[in-house]
Amino acid sequence: MAQRVKRIGVLTAGGDCPGLNAVIRAVVRTAHKNGIEVYGIFDGYAGLIEKRLRPLTETDVSGILPKSGTILGTSNRDNPFKYYDDKGDPANAVDVSEQVVKTIEYNDLEALVTIGGDGTQSISMEFFKRYGIPVVGVPKTIDNDLGGTDITFGFDSALQIATYAIDTLHATAEAHHRIMAVEVMGRNAGWIALHSGIAGGGDVILLPEIPFKIEKVAETIRHRIDSGKRFSLIVVSEGAKPEGGDVVVKKMVKDASEPIRLGGIGNRVAEQVEELTGIEARVTVLGHLQRGVSPSPFDRILATRFGYYAIDLIMKGEFGHMVGLSGRDIVSVPLEEATHRPRIVEPDGPLVRMSMDMGVGFGV
Amino acid sequence: MAQRVKRIGVLTAGGDCPGLNAVIRAVVRTAHKNGIEVYGIFDGYAGLIEKRLRPLTETDVSGILPKSGTILGTSNRDNPFKYYDDKGDPANAVDVSEQVVKTIEYNDLEALVTIGGDGTQSISMEFFKRYGIPVVGVPKTIDNDLGGTDITFGFDSALQIATYAIDTLHATAEAHHRIMAVEVMGRNAGWIALHSGIAGGGDVILLPEIPFKIEKVAETIRHRIDSGKRFSLIVVSEGAKPEGGDVVVKKMVKDASEPIRLGGIGNRVAEQVEELTGIEARVTVLGHLQRGVSPSPFDRILATRFGYYAIDLIMKGEFGHMVGLSGRDIVSVPLEEATHRPRIVEPDGPLVRMSMDMGVGFGV
Amino acid sequence: MAQRVKRIGVLTAGGDCPGLNAVIRAVVRTAHKNGIEVYGIFDGYAGLIEKRLRPLTETDVSGILPKSGTILGTSNRDNPFKYYDDKGDPANAVDVSEQVVKTIEYNDLEALVTIGGDGTQSISMEFFKRYGIPVVGVPKTIDNDLGGTDITFGFDSALQIATYAIDTLHATAEAHHRIMAVEVMGRNAGWIALHSGIAGGGDVILLPEIPFKIEKVAETIRHRIDSGKRFSLIVVSEGAKPEGGDVVVKKMVKDASEPIRLGGIGNRVAEQVEELTGIEARVTVLGHLQRGVSPSPFDRILATRFGYYAIDLIMKGEFGHMVGLSGRDIVSVPLEEATHRPRIVEPDGPLVRMSMDMGVGFGV
Amino acid sequence: MAQRVKRIGVLTAGGDCPGLNAVIRAVVRTAHKNGIEVYGIFDGYAGLIEKRLRPLTETDVSGILPKSGTILGTSNRDNPFKYYDDKGDPANAVDVSEQVVKTIEYNDLEALVTIGGDGTQSISMEFFKRYGIPVVGVPKTIDNDLGGTDITFGFDSALQIATYAIDTLHATAEAHHRIMAVEVMGRNAGWIALHSGIAGGGDVILLPEIPFKIEKVAETIRHRIDSGKRFSLIVVSEGAKPEGGDVVVKKMVKDASEPIRLGGIGNRVAEQVEELTGIEARVTVLGHLQRGVSPSPFDRILATRFGYYAIDLIMKGEFGHMVGLSGRDIVSVPLEEATHRPRIVEPDGPLVRMSMDMGVGFGV
C-alpha cells in the first residue's frame, strides 16, 4: 500500500488502562517498518499544548508489552478547547486549541493517533472538523462502554483482577459465614460487575442499568441461608443505583473525596443488607487495582491489532475515524458514531437472563 | 419453555481443560432450577461402561468455578466402540457400547451431556445415530482446533500461563543474552503459539500450519543481533514441523515417552538455532501447566454459557447437536459438522500477516 | 515416643488467615499416623458451646493446603466466659464455659488444639488453668504482632498481596503523576506496612509505632518532585496515627462501620497530602484481600510445622503451651508468655533505619 | 560513619536469580545517599575485561524492584583467571586478570561489589588476595546451597513458582488419576524440592542428598492407591540420584543439551514408576521459569538489606568479606568461609523427618 506519510504523533489521554503500552508499541513498530517516524506526545493533549513531545525509538517500546500504565503519561484534564490551569478551576477554562495546531505544524506531524475514551475522541473529532487535523482514534475505556467497537482493551484485564478478588473474598466469606460485597469499576455501564460476577460466582450482582431494591437483595441472601448457605457474595458496580434515583451516589459525591465516593454504594449496600439480614457484611473496593494490572493476553493482542490498524488507516489517508473490533475483524468507524453510542448492559440480555435463570439476584 | 425431562447424565472425557467444572456447575444449577435431576458419570464413557455414576447435589458443584480439572474425572481411553483393558492393548479392543446403553436405560437417564473434544463428540454422535441416545455435546479442546464453534473454553486460560511463561523467560533471556525457546501445546493447530507469541512479544513463532526452515529462523535472530538485540524469544507449537516432512516429531514419537515427545521439537529447534547462530539457547516445555491453570474469567463465562445452553437444548429436545459460540451468540450445530471441520490457523490470516508486518519471524 | 491419647479436638478462632487449613491438615495427618482420632470443632469455641463437632477424615483434609479460609469455620465472638447472643449485645454476656467442658468430656476429647490469636489463646489458657483442660495453642495473627513466636503464618501471604498491590498501583501513579496511598492491615503493629513498603519501594511508610506529622509526609513528596519524580507511593498501616493522639482513628471508630474505619487513616492522609502538595492523591484499601489470598509456600511450611509439633506436644503431655518459631526451630512457650508480649516494630530497628538511610519517609 | 570512598563498581555474575536488581538498586541508592558514585559493570567480570562499564543513575534503578533478571547483564563464563573465547573452548583458557586490575585502576574504582555465587566469590577472593582489590561479596544462588548465609535471595521466589506448579499439576493428576512428576532446580542441594514438596503437598520428594530406590517410590504410590488415592505427585530435584551412583545424570550429561539433562532424572523416574505401578505418569520440567519469576517480598527485602549492608562494609573498609543472613541479622563473613561451606539438606533434619512422619516418601 503506497504511503507518503513521514512523521506522525501518538498520545494517550484519560484514565490509564491495561494495554495502552501495547498500542504504543504496535504504532511505533508498524510505523518504523513503513518508514514513518513517530513522535511521542506526553500527558495527552497537554503535551501538544505545552510542546512536550519527542521521537520514539525501538528501545522506548522494547519490553513494554506486559506493562500497564503508559510510557507517554496521560491526563484527565487536557481538553484544549476548555483548558484550565493547575488550580483546576473550570471557571478559568480557555480555548488553547490553536496552540495545539501550531505544535502539530511546527513539528511536521502529518497525522495523530489519539488513544483515549469518549472525551478524548470528541476532542480529536473537533480538531479533525474545525482544523482538518488528520486524526485516527484508538478506543480506550476500562468500563467497556464505548460505542463503535464490540469491546475495548483493558476490560478483560480488569475482569481478571475483579474475578481474582471475588475468588479471594470467597474464602473469608465462607470461613466467617459473612456477606462480602466487592465494588468494581463501572460508572454508567455494569460490564465489569456482570462479567466478574458470573466468573466469580457472585450471588447478587448490582448494575447501573438495573436499579435495585435493597429488600430484594436481602431476600436473595435469606433464601440462600434457608437453603443452608451461610455466606453470600455481592458484586456491585460503582454506579449501581437503588430504585428511585441515585440518592446514595449523590450524597457521597456531595461530601466526600473520590475514594469515599468510590466506596459509596458498596458500603451502603453492605450496611443495609447487614441490617436487613442480621448477617455480618464486609466491603472491598478494588479501585485502581483494576487499572494497574498487567494486560491480559486478550488485551495485549487487541491493543496490538488496534495500533497496527491505526497506522494502516493513516497510510490509507482514512482520517477522522476510529479503529474498532467487530466480531473478529478490526474495522474503522467515523468518530461521530463512536462518540454517540455508549454501550451499556441490556437488562434483558443473554448474560443477565442466564444469571437470573441460574439463581443470581439482581435486586429486582 | 415446557419440558418433561426428569433425569439426565453428564460426563467429561478426553484431556482435562480449564473450565470443565464451570460447565458441570452450570449444567447442574440450571437443571435443578428446572426440576431435572443430574447424574454425574465418572471418567467419561468409562463410567457408563463400569456403572460408576451418582446424583450430583448443589454441594457437589459449590465453589468449583475457579478449579481446573474435573470433579467427574476423565479418561483418554474410554471409547465404548473400541474398548480395551487396563493393559491398554488396542489389539484387544472390543465393542461394549450395548453395556453403555444398558446403564443409561437402567438409570433412566433421558439425556446425556457429553463434554469433550473431537473423539468424544464422534462417540456421542455414534450413540445418537446407532442407538438413538439423546445426546447433547459440549465442545472442549485446549488447542482451540474444534469445528462448530468460534472458540472453546480452556484456550484463553492456556494463553494466560503461556504468555506468563514468555514474560518470565524474557528476563533471563535478556540477562544472559540468550535465545529462549518455549514449547506450548498445539499438535495440529498453532493457536496457542500464535496468540501467546503475539501477547508475549515472541520474536519467532513456529506453527504446525507453517512448516519452517531452521535457516530462516536463524536469519531472524541474526537480524536482531545486528540491530543490537542480543536476546530472542522463540515460541514453538508442539506440532511445529520443519519444511519437508515432520521428521523430528516422527523420530520423537517413535522412541520416546510423551514428555520427550512433548519436548521434541522445542529442543530440536533450540539446538539447531544455537549451532547456526552461536548464541546460547535454552528450552522450556510448558506441558501440563497449560491444563491445570485456574480458568480465566472469559473461560468461566463461556463454559457457564455452554452448560446453561446444553440444558436448554435438552428441554427443547434438540439432540444430536453440540453447543457452540458464533460471534457473541451461543448456537447449536449438528455433531457431524462439529466433528468434521477442524479449525487451524490460516497462514495468511490477519494475525499472522500483522505479525510478519511487525517483524516477527515464522521461519519462512 | 510413647503416647496414650486416643482422641483430640481442633478448632480455629478469630479472623481467618492464610495457612489455617495447612495447620488443620498437619494436625489430622500427624494424629492419624499416631493412631489419634481428631474431631473438628466448628466456628471456634462456639462449636464446643453448641455441640457442633465431628471426626475429621483424610478426605476432609485432602487438597486443602493451597486454600485460604478454614474448613472448620471461625468466629470473632465465641468467648465462652463472656458469651452473648446473636443480637451481639455484650450487655447480655454470660459465662457458658461449663458447657464447653461438658462437650469436651462428653466427646472424650483428651486434648484440644486451639488455633487462634491473642484472644483465643487467653481463653485457652483460662480453660487450662480453671478447668485443667489439656490445651495446646497454635499462634495465628496476620498482623504478626503475637508474642512467643518470631513470626506467624499468614503474614508472608498478606505481604504477597500487599506488595503486588503496590507494584500494580505504581503503574497508574506513574502514568497520572499521582500520589497513591495504599492502606494495609496492622492495627497495633506496622509489620505488613513496613515489609510491603520496602518490598514495593514505597516512598513513605506510616506505622502505628511511629506517629507521623502530615507536613513531614508532604515534605518527602515535595522533595521527590524537586528531584524530578512526579509520583509517590504511600503505604499506610490501618493503625497509623498522626502525632498528638490518634484523632483520626477514634473519630472513625465512633461513627462508622468497619470498611469505613478501615479506610479511615488512608483516606485522611491522602486528602491532607493532596491539599498540602497540590498533587492528586488516590487511596486503595486492601482490606480482606489480605486474608483470603492463597497461603505462600513459607506460610504453608510454617503452618504445617506448627500443626505437626502441636501433636508432638500432646503426645508428650506438654499442655498449657503454645507452639512457636524461634530462629529456625519450632519451640513451645507457656501460654502466659505468648499472651503477654505483643511484638511491635521498633522505631529504631534495622529495617526502619535502613529505609530512612535509603530516603524513605516515615512522617518524622 | 566516616568514609572516604568516592567511586565503586558493581557487577552481577553467574546464573540470574530473582532479586539481583533489588541488590543493585540498594547499592546505588545507599551509595548515592553517602556521596559515592557507582559504576555498573556489564556481564559480570567480562565487563572489566572488555571495559564495558558506566555510571549508574537514580533513573537506572528506578522501578526495577519487581523485575527479575539483572539490568547489568550477567555471564556464566567470565573467569578472568581462566578466560576463554567465544568458541567456548576451555583448552584456550588464559589469565587476563591483570586486564581487570587495569580497568579498575583506570576508572578509579575504590571498591567492588560482586553479586554472585560460589564461583564468582572465589574469583573475587582471588582478586582480593593476589591483587589486593577491595571487594565485597553479595551471595547469590537460587539453589540456596551457599555457605556463609542462612539463606540467599531468589530461593523464596523459586519456591513460589515451584509450589504454584505443583498446585496446578494437582488438578490434572486428580482428573486423570495420574502420577505427575515435576522436576525443580537443585543440582547438589534439594532445598527447592524439599520446601516446594512440603508446600505443595507432594507425595514423594527426591533429593540429591537422599539417594532413592525406585522400587521404594513405587511402593509409596501403591500404598496410596490401596488407600483409595488414585493420583500422586512426585517432586524431583534435578540432581536427585538413584542409590548406587548417579547413572542417569551421567548418561544424560554425556549426550544431550541442557534442557534434556535438566529433564533427565524427572523423565527417568516417571518412566520407571509408570512401569512399576501401571499408572500413567507425566513429567513437567520447570527449568528457567524458576529464575525469571518476579522476586517475592521476602527476596526483595533480603536483597535490599544485602545491598545496603555491602555499602556499609565498604565505608567501614571491611573488604574480602561477603554479606550474609544469620538469624534475623545481616552479618559479614570472610570470603574463604563462604566459599568453603556448601549448605545441603540434612537427611535427618527436621523438615525431612516431619515429612516422613506425615507419610511423604523419599524413596528410601
Q: Model confidence over B180-200: pLDDT tens digits?
A: 999 999 999 999 999 999 999
Please tell me the predicted confidence (pLDDT) of residue B78: 87
Nearest chain B CA: its distance from A303 CA (Å)? 10
> Rounded distance, CA B10 to CA A140, Å?
41
| Residues in a beta bridge with D246 | none
**Rg for chain C, CA atoms, rounded:** 22
- List alpha helices for chain B, DSSP H: 20-33, 45-49, 97-106, 118-131, 155-176, 191-200, 214-226, 247-255, 258-277, 289-292, 297-316, 335-340, 350-357
B310 within domain boundaries? yes
D300/C198 Cβ within 8 A: yes
Same domain assignment for residues C15 and C116: yes
Whether residue B78 is found in the same domain as residue B189: no
pLDDT tens-place string over residues A102-150: 999 999 999 999 999 999 999 999 999 999 999 999 999 988 888 888 9
Pick from B226, B300, B313, B343 the residue to mutate for testing the A interface (most A CBs within 10 Å).
B300
**For residue B143, is it within any domain?**
yes
What is the SS3 assignment for A70? coil
Residues 6+ apart with CB under 8 A from D278: B86
Does residue A33 sit in the same domain as residue A72?
yes
Nearest CA in chain D to C308: D354
**Chain C residues with CB-CB distance to A286 below 8 A:** 284
Q: Are residues A287 and A300 in the same domain?
A: no
- Report pLDDT for C354: 98
Nearest CA in chain C to D151: C328
Please name the member of A257, A278, A292 whose beta carbon is closest to the beta carbon of C271: A257
Q: Where residue D248 sits, what CATH number does that domain have?
A: 3.40.50.460
Q: Is the pLDDT of residue A250 over 50?
A: no
Rounded CA separation C195/C158 (Å): 10
Q: How many domains does chain A contain in total? A: 2
Same domain? C232 vs C315: no
Which one of the listed residues B43, B78, B143, B156 is annotated catalytic?
B143
With beta carbons less than 8 A apart as the criterion, state whether A9 and A314 touch.
no
| pLDDT of the residue at C76 | 84
Interface test with D, best of C24, C301, C302, C345 (most D CBs within 10 A): C301
Give the separation between CA C242 and CA C236, rounded to whole angstroms.
11
Q: Both A215 and A174 in a single domain?
A: yes
**pLDDT above 70: residue D248:** no
Q: How far is B334 from chain D (nearest CA, A)?
A: 28
Spell out where D224-342 has E strands. 232-237, 281-285, 321-326, 329-334
- Least confident window among A171-185, A211-225, A318-332, C240-254: C240-254
Q: For chain B, which chains pass the contact test of at least 3 CB pairs under 8 Å?
A: A, D
Nearest to B168 among D267, D278, D292 (CB): D292
Locate B236 and state its grid cell: 514453538
For residues C279 and A145, give the distance between their C-alpha atoms in angstroms, rounded to a whole number: 29
The pLDDT value recorded for residue D252 is 33
One-letter amino acid identity for A313?
L
Neighbours of D94 (CB within 10 A): 11
pLDDT for res A47:
97
Contact criterion met (CB below 8 Å) for B182 and B332 = no
Residues C90 and C119 both lie in one domain? yes
Contact A217, A363 (CB under 8 A): yes
3-class DSSP state of D123? helix
Task: Please provide the average confidence, as pLDDT, over all residues in chain B.
Answer: 91
Q: Is A282 helix (H, G, I), strand (E, B) or coil?
A: strand
Judge if A111 and A204 occupy the same domain.
no
The residue range of the domain holding C245 is 159-291
D58 contacts C300? CB cut-off 8 A: no
Residue ranges in B132-257 assigned as alpha helix (H) = 155-176, 191-200, 214-226, 247-255
Q: What is the pLDDT of residue B87?
A: 62
DSSP A80: G
Does residue D285 surpass a pLDDT of 80?
A: yes
CA distance B350 to chain D (A): 31
DSSP bridge partners of A284 = A182
The verdict on a CB contact (< 8 Å) between A169 and C288 is: yes
Q: Rounded to an integer, what distance in angstroms lies between the CA atom of residue D244 and that of residue C345?
A: 52
Which of C343, C346, C348 has its CA nearest to residue C333? C343
d(CA C352, CA C338): 25
Residue at D353 is within a domain: no
Query: In this predicted complex, what is the ipTM?
Result: 0.92
pLDDT exceeds 50 at position C46: yes
| pLDDT at residue C86, as a whole number | 62
- CB-nearest to A327 from B305, B327, B359 is B327
Task: Give me the catalytic one of C43, C78, C143, C299.
Answer: C143
CB pairs under 8 A between B and D: 140
Task: Indicate which CATH number applies to the domain containing A33.
Answer: 3.40.50.450
- Does residue D351 form part of some domain? no
Q: What is the mean pLDDT of residues D136-146?
A: 91
Same domain, A299 and A287: no
C184: nearest Cα among C116, C67, C108, C262: C262
Angle at D52 between CA D50 and CA D57, to 5 degrees: 165
Same domain (yes/no): D147, D62: yes
CA A271 to CA A282: how far, in whole Å? 8
Q: Is A205 exposed, middle or buried (0-12, 13-18, 19+ CB in 10 A)?
A: buried
Nearest to C288 by CA among A292, A270, A166: A166
- What does DSSP say about strands D329-334 and D321-326: parallel, antiparallel, or unpaired? antiparallel
* Partner-chain contact C296 D296, CB within 8 Å: yes
pTM: 0.94
Q: Is residue A362 part of a domain?
A: no
pLDDT band at A1 (very low <50, low <70, confident <90, very high): very low
- C-alpha cell of C57? 477424615
Look at residue A137 in the predicted model and tell me its pLDDT: 97
B116-128 mean pLDDT = 94
Please answer yes or no on whether B16 and D176 come within 8 Å at the CB atom: yes
Q: Per-residue pLDDT tens for C201-245?
A: 999 999 999 999 999 999 999 999 999 999 999 999 999 999 985
Of these residues, A143, A145, A203, A299, which one is catalytic? Answer: A143
Q: Chain D partners of C229 at a C-beta cutoff of 8 Å? A: 62
Pairing of strands B321-326, D321-326: unpaired
The answer, yes or no, to whether residue D2 has pLDDT greater than 90, is: no
Q: Are residues D353 and C1 in contact, defined by beta-carbon separation less than 8 angstroms?
A: no
- Residues C338/C183, Cβ–Cβ less than 8 Å: no
Q: Which pLDDT belongs to residue A255?
A: 34
- Read off the DSSP letter of residue C78: -
Residue A352 counted as domain residue: no
Residue C320 lies in a domain: yes
Lowest mean pLDDT among B278-287, B291-300, C123-132: B278-287
Neighbours of chain A (3+ CB pairs under 8 A): B, C
CA–CA distance, C128 with D135 (Å, rounded to integer): 57
B213 and B137 belong to one structural domain = no
The tens digit of pLDDT for each residue in A251-299 reads 333 233 333 333 589 999 999 999 999 999 999 999 899 999 999 999 9
User: Which of these, C172, C160, C184, lies nearest to A290 by C-alpha position?
Assistant: C172
Does any domain span residue D360?
A: no
Amino acid A272: pLDDT: 94
Question: Is D143 a known active-site residue?
Answer: yes
Do residues B240 and B206 lie in contact, with contact meaning Cβ atoms separated by under 8 Å? yes
- Pick the residue from chain B with its C-alpha nearest to A157: B297
What residues in D contact B200, CB-CB < 8 Å? none
pLDDT reported for residue A49: 96
Q: Which of C288, C295, B297 is nearest to A201 (CA)?
A: B297
Long-range pairs of A122-127 with CB within 8 A, sequence gap ≥ 24: A122/A335, A122/A339, A123/A13, A123/A45, A123/A79, A123/A80, A123/A81, A124/A335, A125/A320, A125/A335, A125/A336, A125/A339, A126/A81, A126/A97, A127/A97, A127/A100, A127/A101
Residue B240 CA: distances (Å) to CA of A105, B187, B236, B363, D256: 50, 8, 6, 11, 21
Give pLDDT, residue C85. Answer: 67
Query: What is the rounded distance in angstroms from the CA atom of residue A51 to the CA atom of residue A107?
Result: 9
Torsion-angle region of A282 (φ positive above 0: left; ψ -120 to 50: alpha; else: beta): beta
Average model confidence (pLDDT) for chain C?
A: 91
Instruction: Report yes or no: C194 and C292 within 8 Å, Cβ to Cβ.
Output: no
How far apart CA B349 and CA D192 sit, in angstroms, is: 44
Contact: A258, C172; criterion CB under 8 Å: no
D48 and D86 housed in the same domain: yes
